């Protein structure tokens, strides 16, 4: 077997909130379910296990390694599985191509997989030396290296401040620009050292790893993660059958805020002033928020999988017609 394929078969990722997702999806055994971030297909395997011979699972992922690993994982259920390499923002087009008009449920498990973090040469981790990459889809030309070396200082500041919520964003951006004047920044280790030099040592001891926020910010900017999420949620709800559910797992406050806000807006889209006795804007609710508060991992799950610590599951159900 090709060595690269051997490595891909080692795609490991513990599925977060697995039981809760399966429960919240309210799986109809004969239904169609779309997974916009298939990954290693941990959630997908359980969904397929709950489907009858008439049921169907559509696994979507932009990551080449995930496509390989997910397809392998789901081989037992291949007769009811369709795997598509794409970004979930194109889910409407994917369904059109498959001649599917509506689905019974959609799942998004956002963030970076354990596999992506543990595969150093993907450039997602600040714990090992690797080229600055961070692409979810290696067909994309722009990399983290391009952002670090080419963004103007004010743009770098914006990205680190907005997406990393780092109080030292201004200083980090300043140090990056100063460092790249003498030499192009090429590796994760080089970037980590620049970030460390930007933050007082006594602060570093209280904030966890000093590069964590900046790496998150660059990854989000590069892969347009928040933009894609905000622009796609309504499309997903429109694809659902009446009573169908959209389940989304987020891993940081920016994602969760978008999901919470958009779900609320779809539940109550009216823009009439509060003083109006009746609605005249004509905007109709698309359904209801099932999770007034997000579902969090249990103590048992937190003990088994520390990466589930920041996970939050929110669920929206499309209105019955």
The secondary structure of 214-259 as a DSSP string is: HHHHHHHHHHTHHHHHHHHHHHHHHHEEEEEEEEEEE-SHHHHHHH
Overall average pLDDT of the 219-230 stretch: 96
63, 136 contact by CB (below 8 A) = yes
Say whether pLDDT at 116 is over 80.
no
What pLDDT, on a 0 to 100 scale, did the predictor assign at position 203? 84
Contact of 60 with 38, CB cutoff 8 Å: yes
Write down the domain spans for the chain.
Answer: 3-115+226-318, 121-223
The torsion of the CA quartet 285, 228, 127, 160, rounded to 10 degrees, works out to -90
Q: Residue 105 has which token pair?
A: 């449920």
Predicted confidence (pLDDT) per residue in 46-103, tens digit? 999 999 999 999 999 999 999 999 999 999 999 999 999 999 999 999 999 999 999 9
Residue 92 has what pLDDT? Answer: 97
DSSP-assigned letter for residue 298: -
pLDDT at 111: 74
Question: Above pLDDT 70, what percent of the chain?
Answer: 96
| Residue 112 in this model has a pLDDT that exceeds 90 | no
The CATH class for the domain spanning 3-115+226-318 reads alpha beta
Local structure of residue 120 (DSSP, 8 states)? G
When pLDDT is cut at 50, 70 and 90, the band that residue 135 belongs to is very high
pLDDT at 272 over 90: no
Task: Answer yes or no: is pLDDT of 11 > 60.
Answer: no
Cβ neighbours of residue 292 under 8 Å, at least 6 residues apart? none
pLDDT over threshold 50, residue 261:
yes
CA distance 321 to 318: 9
Task: Give how far the C-alpha of residue 270 lies from the chain's centroid of Cα atoms, to the nearest Å.
Answer: 29
Predicted local confidence at residue 132, as pLDDT: 97
Over residues 234-256, mean pLDDT: 97
Tell how many helices (H) and how many strands (E) occur in the chain.
Answer: 15, 7
Q: What confidence tens digit (pLDDT) does each residue in 41-59 have?
A: 999 999 999 999 999 999 9
- Distance from C-alpha of 61 to C-alpha of 65, rounded to nearest angstrom: 9
Provide the pLDDT for residue 206.
79
Confidence check: pLDDT of 245 > 70:
yes
d(CA 148, CA 189): 13
Looking at residue 177, its pLDDT comes to 98
Of 142, 222, 206, 127, give the one whose Cα is nearest residue 168: 206
For residue 2, pLDDT over 60 is answered with: no
Share of residues in the chain with pLDDT > 90 (%): 80
Confidence band, pLDDT 50/70/90 cuts, at residue 270? confident
Supply the pTM of this predicted model.
Answer: 0.90
Nearest to 242 by CA among 106, 58, 103: 103
Amino acid 8: pLDDT: 44
d(CA 95, CA 82): 11
**305 pLDDT more than 70:** yes
Q: Are 78 and 56 in contact, with CB atoms under 8 Å apart?
A: no
Stretch among 74-78, 241-245, 307-311 having the lowest mean pLDDT: 307-311
- Dihedral sign, Cα of residue 100, residue 63, residue 309, residue 302: positive
- CATH number of the domain at 121-223, please? 1.10.150.170
Mean pLDDT estimate for the chain: 92
pLDDT the model gives residue 208: 81
Q: Is the pLDDT of residue 312 over 80?
A: yes
Confidence of residue 10 (pLDDT cuts 50, 70, 90): low
């Amino acid at each position: 077997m090709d060595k690269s394929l051997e490595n891909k078969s080692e795609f490991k990722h513990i599925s977060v909130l697995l039981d809760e997702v399966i429960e919240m999806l309210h799986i109809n055994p004969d239904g169609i379910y779309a997974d916009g971030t298939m990954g290693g297909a941990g959630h997908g395997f359980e969904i397929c296990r709950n489907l009858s011979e008439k049921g169907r699972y559509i696994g979507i992922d932009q990551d080449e390694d995930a496509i390989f690993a997910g397809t392998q994982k789901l081989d037992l259920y291949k007769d009811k599985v369709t795997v598509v390499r794409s970004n979930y923002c194109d889910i409407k087009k994917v369904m059109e191509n498959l001649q599917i008009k509506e689905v019974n449920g959609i799942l998004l498990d956002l963030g970076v997989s354990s596999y992506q973090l543990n595969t150093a040469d993907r450039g997602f981790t600040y714990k090992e030396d690797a080229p600055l990459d961070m692409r979810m889809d290696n067909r994309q030309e722009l990399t983290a290296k391009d952002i670090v070396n080419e963004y103007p200082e004010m743009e770098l500041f914006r990205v680190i401040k907005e997406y990393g919520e780092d109080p030292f964003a201004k200083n980090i951006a300043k140090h990056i620009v100063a460092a790249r004047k003498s030499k192009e920044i090429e590796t994760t280790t080089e970037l980590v050292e620049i970030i460390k030099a930007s933050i007082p040592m006594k602060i570093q001891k209280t904030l966890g790893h000093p590069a964590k926020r900046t790496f998150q910010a660059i990854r989000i900017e590069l892969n347009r993660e928040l933009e894609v999420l905000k622009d796609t949620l309504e499309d997903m709800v429109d694809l659902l059958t009446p009573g169908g559910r959209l389940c989304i797992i987020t891993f940081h406050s920016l994602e969760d805020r978008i999901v919470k806000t958009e779900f609320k807006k779809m539940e109550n889209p009216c823009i009439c002033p509060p003083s109006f006795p009746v609605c005249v804007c004509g905007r109709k609710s698309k359904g209801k928020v099932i999770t007034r508060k997000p579902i969090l991992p249990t103590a048992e799950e937190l003990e088994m999988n520390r990466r589930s610590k920041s996970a939050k599951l929110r669920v929206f159900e499309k209105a019955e017609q």
